[in-house]
Structure 1
């Protein structure tokens, strides 16, 4: 008999106020969170760690595929390509929450740069018996670039924003964000690896960090968020400032040379 049950994992964690305060400080925000405070959108990223011993890590510092919910895809490079979130109600600091992760899909195809694998995970986060957040996370796995292969031409970002904010990044900021999210991906803190193995022009600013900044900007514009979606377009290096752009719920990140790093939609 075929077993059609979804592939799932479950985790529980306490939404420690101290950790949320540390993220506020890391982002340069006023430190305001206390026990019982509603957490800002996307702050659940700093909880539900999945620590693995060194023997279960890949060369990039991420857990190896094939050992957990994500199957062995045979492709070494991983990227968080985007996602969408539905905010049903606030998570509150100091309380236990449960995250149920479901493997929704895995697909493979051949792209211009070689084979690609796409993985979609759904995370349902519950607190006090009520679902608070549903998040769909889209991951892409790919091969290493062949020596001498030119980088893909990134899209050009819009310039018709009605509001904009500038964000700057340092290796310290990227390290602290990696630590708080328990993200071992070496492209964010190991510059020789990022340049020499994965072919980037420096440390890569986390896509979720850019999404976090956009969500906080959107919350300042709209108040409480009900939905947010984002899609990565091109990597932003840690030595580049980002312009966070807004126009009637549409958002995007523009690099100093005008290329588009991310697009998003907020409601």
Structure 2
């Protein structure tokens, strides 16, 4: 069953080059971004914070459901997938405006019980022009239940890179994105309440690494990306970033596919 919402949200931010350099440092990149630089793909995720006071947060550290995202009575929130269309570069040091609208809410029943999928569209403008359109798919589910099956990752990559994560990297990325989700820094909560086997590496952080790899492999600015998270990656495990002819994916420590993407 698909429901529709008229909820919209508009946030304005200056694409601070110092924050972008901090993300470059977190990712192990050379700190090169200055005012007027084109931001690398996906760097917009460190902007457009929507800080909420403690009383407006849910048990997981995220803003409580029932504001912009409707309350569907399901406590666990996960970032499932996304799509981005880059119409032009986002420039560091310039004011940008992000307008978000909920395009639909779909309810289903899976092996783990009832599920709700929320699709949000974001349009980011600079100087009166849409530079980026992003669709974000969130999934909400009950506590407990059987975890979804994890697909095996491909092994036919033509390029690969191994990326390691630690608690410092997860803390810094959470801070830069103002992401208070406890699965990324509170191990007892992640294991006891949400039933992971360790702290969870952010899905957007994996997507960020894949897009940087894709830009290097393509040798030109990315114009479109679709990606989907398929299994969690938890500490202390490293990830293998894989590439083959426009396809990119993350292979986990046991050969599982953690994320897949297509880029051009």
Taking the aligned partners of 1:82 and 1:218, their CA distance within structure 2 comes to 17
Q: Which runs of 5+ in 1 are unaligned?
A: none
Q: Look up the match of 2:113.
A: 114
The corresponding residue for 2:50 is: 50
Question: Aligned residue for 1:11?
Answer: 11
5+ unaligned residues in a row in structure 2: which ranges? Answer: none
Name the CA distance, whole Å, in 2 between partners of 1:74 and 1:177.
Answer: 29
1:253 match: 250
Measure, in 2, the Cα distance between the counterparts of 1:192 and 1:221: 39
Residue 234 (structure 2) pairs with residue 237 (structure 1)? yes
Does 2:41 align with 1:41? yes
- Residue pair 2:11, 2:99 contacting (<8 A) in 1 also: yes
Shift of 1:256: 1.5
Give a deviation string over 1:220-251, Cα, whole Å, max 9, x none: 01121000010000000021110000000011
Paired position in structure 2 for 1:97:
96
In structure 2, the partner of 1:228 is 225
Q: CA RMSD in A?
A: 1.1
CA distance in 2: counterparts of 1:85 and 1:210, whole angstroms: 15
Task: Tell me which stretches of 4 or more aligned residues in structure 1 moved more than 6 Å.
Answer: none
Q: Which residue of 2 aligns with 1:81?
A: 80
Task: Quote the Cα distance in structure 1 between the aligned partners of 2:224 and 2:80.
Answer: 18
Map of 2:60 onto structure 1: 60
Deviation at 1:167, TM superposition (A): 0.5
Query: In structure 2, what is the Cα distance between the partners aligned to 1:162 and 1:254?
Result: 14
Corresponding residue number in structure 2 for 1:29: 29
The equivalent residue for 1:188 is 184
CA offsets per residue over residues 99-142 of structure 1, 9 Å max, x none?
00011001111111100000000000000111100000000000
Deviations 1:46-70 (A, max 9, x none): 0000000111100000111112x21
Listed one character per residue, the Cα deviations across residues 9-68 of structure 1 (whole Å, up to 9, x for unaligned) are 11110000010000000000000000110000110000000000111100000111112x
State the distance in 1 between where 2:159 and 2:186 align: 34
Q: What whole-Å deviation, never above 9, does each CA across 1:77-112 have from its counterpart, x for those lacking one?
A: 000001000000001011100000011001111111
Q: Could you say if the C-alpha distance between residues 238 and 129 of structure 1 is closer, same or farther in structure 2, counting changes exceeding 3 Å?
A: same
Question: Counterpart in 2 of 1:166?
Answer: 162
How many aligned residue pairs are there?
260
- Please state whether the residue corresponding to 1:37 is helix, strand or coil: coil
TM-score, with structure 2 as normaliser: 0.96
Q: Which residue of 1 aligns with 2:149?
A: 153
